[in-house]
Amino acid sequence: MSQPLPTLVLTVALDDDLLTLNRVVGIMRRHNLAVGGLAVGPGPKGGQSRLTCTVASDPGAVDRMANALRKTVGVRDVTTLPESACTTREHLLLRLRHGPSRLSALLDVLALYEARILEETPEELVVEATGAAPLLGSLLRALEPYGVLAQVRGGAVVLPRTAVAATGRDGPPVALPAAIPA
């Protein structure tokens, strides 16, 4: 049996325009890796977006894709990190059916997962939950008996646990000519 492929977290800081996003996603499509949970949101700097996704693949293939992204006009920064070096969170919104007979039990489940109630009607609840993907999966399974009417799930957003982990490029060694002693 071959080893399971490691999961890496790819983050891309890019100019905040659809054409650059299109370019980035096009490169990811071309490299055809197992990309999961793609999330795009505002970046830390003005005029920039931040794209985050997980990639379960051979690290060499991920590095080739990251290198292709790095030389794309409009891409400002690319990092690849092992998932284990990151804190990841996903956001889940749910619309649930409830009835007077089941509400108490349902509230217990939601409390266990620290899900918050956003809206309530006599028959339905809108709730949100955040957490890593396994936790949200577990919540969804726990809610199945109660009737999930609709669900929306954002892709994972990721933060490296330490500054050292976020050093970026992890490819082969390179040296710029300026660094070469004469």
Partner 1 sequence: MGGIGPVHETLSGAQILCRLLEEQGVEVMFGYPGGAIMPLYHALPERPGLRHILTRHEQAAAHAADGYARASGRPGVCIATSGPGATNLVTGLATAQMDSSPVVAITGQVARAFIGRDAFQETDVIGITLPITKHSVVVEDITELGPKVREAFHIATEGRPGPVLVDVPKDVQNQKAEWVPLRGTAAVPAADRRAGFEAPPGSFTEAVRLLDQAERPLLIVGRGVILGNAYAEVRALAEKVGMPVITTLLGISAFPDGHPLHLGMPGMHGEVHVNRAIQQADLLVAIGMRFDDRVTGNIAAFAPRAKVIHVDLDPAEIGKNVAVTVGLVGQARDVAARLAQAVRPRDCAAWRDEISGFRRDRRDAYRGDMAPETILDRIHEVTGGDCTIVSDVGQHQMWVAKLYPYQQPNSHITSGGLGTMGFAVPAAMGVHFARPGKPVWAISGDGGFQMNMQEIATMVQEGIPVKMAIFNNGYLGMVRQWQQFFHGRRYSATPIWSPDYVKLAEAYGIAGYRVQHSGQIEAAVAQALREPGPALVEFLIEQEANVFPMIPPGGSLSEPIESAPPAAAPVA
| Contacts (Cβ under 8 Å, ≥6 apart) of 140 | 92, 148, 151
State which of residues 67, 84, 87, 151 lies at the interface with partner 1 (CB under 8 A).
67
- 51 counts as binding partner 1 under rule CB under 8 A: no
- 47 counts as binding partner 1 under rule CB under 8 A: no
- 63 counts as binding partner 1 under rule CB under 8 A: yes
- 76 counts as binding partner 1 under rule CB under 8 A: yes
Residue 38, both tokens: 């793609």
Q: Provide, rounded to whole angstroms, the least separation between the CB of residue 61 and partner 1.
A: 11
Question: Closer CB to partner 1, residue 1 or residue 182?
Answer: 182
- 173 counts as binding partner 1 under rule CB under 8 A: yes
DSSP state letter for 68: H
- 18 counts as binding partner 1 under rule CB under 8 A: no
- 89 counts as binding partner 1 under rule CB under 8 A: no
State which of residues 59, 72, 82, 85 lies at the interface with partner 1 (CB under 8 A).
72
- 71 counts as binding partner 1 under rule CB under 8 A: yes
Please tell me the distance from the alpha carbon of residue 112 to that of residue 90, in angstroms, as a whole number: 17
Choices 16-24, 97-105, 134-142, 152-160; region in contact with partner 1 by CB under 8 A: 16-24
Chain mean position to CA 33? 15
Q: Provide, rounded to whole angstroms, the least separation between the CB of residue 29 and partner 1.
A: 9
DSSP state letter for 55: E
Q: Are 81 and 167 within 8 A, CB to CB?
A: no
- 31 counts as binding partner 1 under rule CB under 8 A: no
Q: What is the CA radius of gyration of the chain?
A: 20
| Contacts (Cβ under 8 Å, ≥6 apart) of 34 | 5, 55, 56, 57
DSSP state letter for 179: G
Chain mean position to CA 62? 16
Rule CB under 8 A: which residues touch partner 1? 13, 15, 19, 22-23, 26-27, 30, 60, 63-64, 67-78, 167-169, 171-177, 179-182
